[in-house]
Amino acid sequence: MNEIIITNENFDKEVLQSDIPVIIDFWATWCGPCKMLSPIIEEIAKEANGEYKVGKINIDEQPELANAFQIASIPTIVVMENGKVKNSAVGYMPKQDILDLLHR
Protein backbone atom coordinates (compact mmCIF):
# COMPACT_ATOMS: atom_id res chain seq x y z
CA MET A 1 0.00 0.00 0.00
CA ASN A 2 1.20 3.50 -0.71
CA GLU A 3 1.11 6.45 1.64
CA ILE A 4 -2.17 8.32 1.80
CA ILE A 5 -2.13 12.10 1.49
CA ILE A 6 -4.34 13.19 4.38
CA THR A 7 -6.28 16.43 4.10
CA ASN A 8 -9.11 18.09 6.01
CA GLU A 9 -11.48 16.54 3.48
CA ASN A 10 -10.45 12.89 3.97
CA PHE A 11 -9.22 12.97 7.60
CA ASP A 12 -12.42 11.55 9.11
CA LYS A 13 -12.64 8.70 6.60
CA GLU A 14 -8.95 7.77 6.47
CA VAL A 15 -8.02 8.31 10.13
CA LEU A 16 -10.94 8.64 12.55
CA GLN A 17 -13.06 5.91 10.92
CA SER A 18 -10.16 3.57 10.15
CA ASP A 19 -10.54 0.06 11.52
CA ILE A 20 -6.75 -0.38 11.54
CA PRO A 21 -4.03 1.81 13.13
CA VAL A 22 -2.82 4.81 11.14
CA ILE A 23 0.75 6.10 11.21
CA ILE A 24 0.70 9.80 10.33
CA ASP A 25 3.82 11.67 9.23
CA PHE A 26 3.52 15.45 9.77
CA TRP A 27 6.04 17.05 7.41
CA ALA A 28 6.87 20.01 5.13
CA THR A 29 8.81 20.36 1.88
CA TRP A 30 11.41 22.69 3.46
CA CYS A 31 12.20 20.32 6.35
CA GLY A 32 15.55 18.51 5.99
CA PRO A 33 14.87 15.75 8.55
CA CYS A 34 11.45 15.20 6.90
CA LYS A 35 13.21 14.54 3.59
CA MET A 36 15.51 12.04 5.31
CA LEU A 37 12.51 10.30 6.90
CA SER A 38 10.44 10.17 3.70
CA PRO A 39 11.99 6.99 2.20
CA ILE A 40 11.55 5.19 5.54
CA ILE A 41 7.88 6.20 5.70
CA GLU A 42 7.45 5.03 2.11
CA GLU A 43 9.04 1.66 2.95
CA ILE A 44 6.82 1.23 6.03
CA ALA A 45 3.75 1.97 3.90
CA LYS A 46 4.73 -0.63 1.31
CA GLU A 47 5.16 -3.26 4.04
CA ALA A 48 1.81 -2.58 5.77
CA ASN A 49 0.01 -5.66 4.38
CA GLY A 50 -3.32 -4.32 5.62
CA GLU A 51 -2.18 -4.28 9.26
CA TYR A 52 -2.01 -0.47 9.37
CA LYS A 53 -2.18 2.59 7.09
CA VAL A 54 0.44 5.25 6.56
CA GLY A 55 -0.61 8.83 5.93
CA LYS A 56 1.25 12.06 5.33
CA ILE A 57 0.07 15.51 6.35
CA ASN A 58 1.86 18.51 4.87
CA ILE A 59 1.63 21.09 7.66
CA ASP A 60 1.86 24.02 5.20
CA GLU A 61 -1.09 22.72 3.16
CA GLN A 62 -3.13 21.49 6.16
CA PRO A 63 -2.50 24.00 8.97
CA GLU A 64 -5.83 23.16 10.66
CA LEU A 65 -4.76 19.53 11.14
CA ALA A 66 -1.31 20.59 12.35
CA ASN A 67 -2.98 22.89 14.89
CA ALA A 68 -5.45 20.20 15.97
CA PHE A 69 -2.51 17.92 16.82
CA GLN A 70 -0.50 20.81 18.31
CA ILE A 71 2.44 20.12 16.01
CA ALA A 72 5.32 22.33 17.16
CA SER A 73 8.24 20.53 15.46
CA ILE A 74 8.55 18.33 12.41
CA PRO A 75 8.85 15.61 11.50
CA THR A 76 6.29 14.35 13.99
CA ILE A 77 4.94 10.81 13.81
CA VAL A 78 1.52 10.16 15.35
CA VAL A 79 -0.08 6.72 15.64
CA MET A 80 -3.88 6.80 15.71
CA GLU A 81 -5.97 3.82 16.75
CA ASN A 82 -9.76 3.74 17.11
CA GLY A 83 -9.90 7.48 16.43
CA LYS A 84 -7.52 8.38 19.27
CA VAL A 85 -3.83 9.21 19.53
CA LYS A 86 -2.07 6.05 20.70
CA ASN A 87 1.50 7.29 20.45
CA SER A 88 3.65 10.05 19.01
CA ALA A 89 7.29 11.01 18.58
CA VAL A 90 9.15 14.03 17.25
CA GLY A 91 12.21 14.05 15.02
CA TYR A 92 13.97 11.70 12.65
CA MET A 93 14.01 8.10 13.83
CA PRO A 94 14.95 4.72 12.41
CA LYS A 95 12.35 2.45 10.86
CA GLN A 96 12.13 0.08 13.81
CA ASP A 97 11.47 2.94 16.24
CA ILE A 98 8.52 4.06 14.11
CA LEU A 99 7.15 0.51 13.93
CA ASP A 100 7.58 0.19 17.71
CA LEU A 101 5.17 3.14 18.14
CA LEU A 102 2.43 0.84 16.78
CA HIS A 103 2.94 -1.70 19.54
CA ARG A 104 3.62 0.39 22.63
Q: Is 57 a catalytic residue?
A: no
Of the candidates 31, 45, 59, 66, the residue annotated as catalytic is 31
Q: Which of 4, 6, 22, 34 is catalytic?
A: 34
Query: Which of 45, 14, 46, 32 lies closest to 75 in space, CA to CA?
Result: 32
Please say if 31 is a catalytic residue.
yes
Known catalytic residues are 31, 34
